[in-house]
Each structure stands twice: as C-alpha cells, then as structure tokens.
Amino acid sequence: MSNHRSIRPRSLLCALCALWTLLALPTAPAQAATADGVSKSVVKIFATLRYPDPYKPWTKQAPTDVSGSGVVIEGQRILTNAHVVLYAGQIQVQADEGGDKLPAHVVAIAPGIDLAVLALDHAGSFFSAHPPLARASELPKIKDAVLAYGFPTGGSSLSITKGIVSRIEFVPYNFPVSGLRIQIDAAINPGNSGGPAVVGDRMIGLAFSKLAGGAENIGYIIPNEEIELFLADVADGRYDGKPAMYDELQTLENPALRAYLKLADSIHGVVVHEPLETGAAYPLKKWDVITQIGDHRIDDQGMVKIAGDLRVDFHYLVQKIASGGHVPLTIVRAGRTERISLPVSAERPTLVRDLDGGYPSYFIYGPLVFSKATWQFLNVLQKPNVARALGLMASPLLCAALDPPTPRRRELVVVSSPFFPHQLALGYSDPAGSVVRSVDGIAVRSLDDLVAILRDAKGPFVTFEFDQRTGETFVFPRQAMVDATEGILTDNDVRAQGSPDTMAVWNAGRTAAAARAPVAARGP
C-alpha cells in the first residue's frame, strides 16, 4: 500500500471544509480542532527499497522509491507499516508540507503483522513540535465514525477521509501470522499505509491495506491491540512474535458429523481434523472436540464472543491468555470432558520459509544456481500455467511446502534460475523451479547439505536428480564444472559464487565422509 497508483489529491484545507459540510454545524468546529491536533502527529515517509530477486538470488532488484505515512508515538518514535520500510536502504521523514526531510532508520520490524518502528537519526526539536498521538485502550464499536489520516499518492498534502467502522475480525495477515483487523468504509489508498485511524481524538489503529479487486471505500486497519502487543514485544530490542495454534480444525455445524461423534446437543465447539503433531505426548488428537479456550466457550463455527456482541475466531484468544508457551483448552474426547494445556509457538516451521526481510541464500556450481525455496520464490505460482505444470509433475513446491522439516529433509532446495549459457548444459532442459532430490545418489536435506556433498565429491562425474514425476537426470564432468564456475561468474557479472552462509560451507576443511543413507524413495 505504498505509492503505486495515482489518486485525486486533497489538501488539508479541502478535507476540513468537507468535514465542516458533512457534520452538523454545532459540532463542526470541535471536529476541525481535533483534526488539526491529530495532524501534528502524522508524518510522511519516503523510502528507497532494494527488494531481493528470488530468481536471480546473487543480485537485488533495481531501487524502488516509495512513500507512505506514519504516526508519532511515545519514546520519540514513529510507527508505520513494515511494508513501507522493509528492505529500505534510505528512509526519510517529513512532518509538514514543504518541511525538511529528516533521515531515519528502522529500530524494530515485524513483517508478519506488518508493523515497524522508526527513529530519527538526529531528532533535534522535532518531537517538541510533533507530539505522540494518544491511543484508545479499547476496540472501537461497529458504526463508530472514523477519520483516516495519511499522505496518499497524487499530492503532498495531508489527506483526511471519513467513514465508519464496519467490521472487526481475526484473520490471516502474512503467513503464518494472524491478528485482529478492523474494516472501515473510508478510502484507504496507496500512500495511506502507516497513517493513523482516529475515533474522536484517539488513534484506534494503523491503516495498512485495502480490499483487492478494485472495490471502493473498503480499507483495513491494524487495531491498537495488535500494536500494543508488538510494542511490548520489541521493548527488549528483539521481536519474538505472537503465540498461535497451527492444528487443522473443522467446524461442528454438520448434523451427520455430530451424530458420528455421538455428541450431546449441549456440546459445541470445533473438531480436530489434523493435530500439528502426531506423537503420543502431544495433547490434541484427531476427532477431539475443542469446546473452550480458557473460560470462553467456542461455538460450532469456531467463534467466541468478546466485547459485548462481537464474535471473532477463537484463535484470537491464544495471544490473550497464553502463558509460558501454553494455552488452556477444554476438549471432549470419546465422550469424556478433559482439560489440557496445549503448547503454542510464534513460529510454524515449514519446508518453505519466508525471507522475513533477508536476502536469499544461493550457490552457483558450473551453469547451475541453487537456492532455498521461499514464499517469495513461490510467487511464481500465481501464474495458473506454472501451478498446473508443477501439479502435474507432483512437485514438492506445490504439495509439500507446508510440511514440517524432518531429519531427512530440512528445507526444499531449488534450481532458482535457468542455466547460465555454457556448453556443459548442452542438451538438457531448463531446470528452473525443479526441487533437488539427490546429488550423486545422496539425499539432499538442505542447501548447506548440497554444498557439502559437492565439496566432498571425488568421482569423475556428478549427478543431479530432481523430485518430480517427469524430467531428466543431469550428469556433468565434476572437475569441468568446478573449473568452469569462475569463468561463468565473470561472464555474467556475478560477484560471488555463493551467499556468505553457503561459502562458509564450501570453504570449510574437507571432512570425513558423513554416514549418508542412499535415496530409497521419493519425497521427504
């Protein structure tokens, strides 16, 4: 939601005039005064971003200039969205139209919940003229009037749009993080991201998104409750994340399902379809019915009541009542009611992971480029033809991305790019997007593992097999691959054969051959 589309600009003066017209005359002056007070706490943020290139992991994408909004908070800090400053090489903050742009830097960031805190490099007297904006301690009510402040694309003046709170839900943000979200019918446009939404004279949250698909006047706000959790988390200088449940559940609405489980009419809740873990020590089992979280009853749609008549997904309460990495649940198992303590975590380890603000690891061997599979790399699946082809090949990128790591496979290793031009690749098909299954018949457990296998190889040939239904086995002369690598790097203006982590493995002293089991079956 940084500046990608142009919109009709609206100055602060025009916005206040519109508010005067819309509001009843007795209350208009008070509202205008409130808007003027809030505006002193709202800033415009300029950032130059260098995004990673998952398909050319040895380089970065060209610099991109974006702008967004932010709000001054306590501690001489500025709160904004993570996506406004993620991968920023340069950040500047401007408080007033035509005012100085002050350099700033990120002091805390959480891409999952899309929040970040900035500090000015040299604050001077800035914060004496731009005080922190007070935050409401409770969720707003449905139909509360709300003003959204920010600097949308198309002009340099502060914009204020008016709407109402229309919905409050607990929804997914960026995998695997979920959180509360407020929907409003005020216009939220590119550049508004990071600006405050205000009810009365207090901030209720931070603008961060709009409904995709071209729908008008449907915007989304990160509520204060999520902001407070984030700020409390980063108080020690590190972001740990929010605890969550990752078990697969289903609703208990179908009468046949209730009859199958022999449940009394008085029992309500959700059914465990697939527990996160299957070991005997894990407290949830398939077909368990979760009826309560803490002291809150769960209905057959998996919802709980909070703040009066407001209903949200019961997972919301995990972040509220978890203690010591556990959350109390009441379940019905085989007709008996039990109380259990379920372990919860801020992380959900999977074979495909997020770059989370970092740059991809990679390793180049001859004309081949290897990297770890990431969600950024899998953005290619948004193209239907690509997803269909991977499905027909039974690629792990499509069918195993969410599988947990195991000792036999800790991550998916992919060929991230087409072959570099070289005669060594003569006659082989483009391997880009293929998941490496084995090298010289040895199962590849991780990218570091692949590099170590290549480092310790001694035979005249090196072979690569891929984890897919169709394709080829690549056979290369081993020494020729090693000898060709430096020239390939030079010809293609690649500065390093690998990222620092993989080069540390490649350059390590040769070790005694580890006991490695030959590949017996496809898959992890």
Q: For each of the domains in the chain, give its residue range(s) and CATH number, in order of start.
A: 12-236 (2.40.10.120), 248-343 (2.30.42.10), 362-506 (3.20.190.20)
3-state secondary structure of 208: strand
Phi/psi of residue 18, each to 5°? -65, -40
Per-residue model confidence as pLDDT tens for the chain (524 residues): 444 333 333 333 333 333 333 333 333 333 333 556 899 999 999 999 999 999 999 999 999 999 999 999 999 999 999 999 999 999 999 997 768 999 999 999 999 999 999 999 998 899 999 999 999 999 999 999 999 999 998 778 899 999 999 999 999 999 999 999 999 998 788 889 999 999 998 999 999 987 655 556 789 999 999 999 999 999 999 999 999 999 999 999 999 999 999 999 999 999 999 999 999 999 999 999 999 999 999 999 999 999 878 999 999 999 999 999 999 999 999 999 999 999 999 999 999 999 999 999 999 999 999 999 999 999 876 777 887 888 888 899 989 999 999 999 999 999 999 999 999 999 999 999 999 999 999 999 999 999 999 999 999 999 999 999 888 999 999 999 999 999 999 999 999 999 999 999 999 965 444 444 455 444 43
Burial class of residue 320 in the structure, from the number of CB atoms within 10 Å of its CB (0-12 exposed, 13-18 middle, 19+ buried): middle
pTM: 0.86
Phi/psi of residue 191, each to 5°? 105, -25
Residues forming a β-bridge with 330: 292, 339
Q: Check if the beta carbon of residue 2 is closer than 8 Å to that of residue 83.
A: yes
Apex CA 74: angle with CA 12 and CA 138, to 5°? Answer: 80
E-strand spans in 409-521?
413-415, 436-439, 442-443, 461-466, 474-477
Edge-to-edge strands of the sheet including 413-415?
A: 362-365, 368-372, 413-415
User: Is residue 125 annotated as part of the catalytic site, yes or no?
Assistant: no
Calculate the alpha carbon distances from 179 to 111, 302, 316, 447 in Å: 13, 15, 7, 33
C-alpha to C-alpha distance for 242 and 240, rounded to whole angstroms? 7
Q: Which two tokens stand for residue 522?
A: 């496809």
Calculate the alpha carbon distances from 399 to 66, 172, 471 in Å: 35, 21, 17
Selected catalytic residue, list 83, 130, 268, 315: 83
Calculate the alpha carbon distances from 122 to 89, 102, 106 in Å: 17, 8, 14
Q: Centre a 10 Å sphere on the Cβ of residue 136 and count the other Cβ atoms it contains.
A: 18
Calculate the alpha carbon distances from 492 to 365, 370, 501, 502 in Å: 14, 16, 22, 20
Selected catalytic residue, list 193, 371, 416, 434: 193
C-alpha to C-alpha distance for 141 and 135, rounded to whole angstroms? 15
C-alpha to C-alpha distance for 163 and 19, rounded to whole angstroms? 11
User: Is residue 434 annotated as part of the catalytic site, yes or no?
Assistant: no
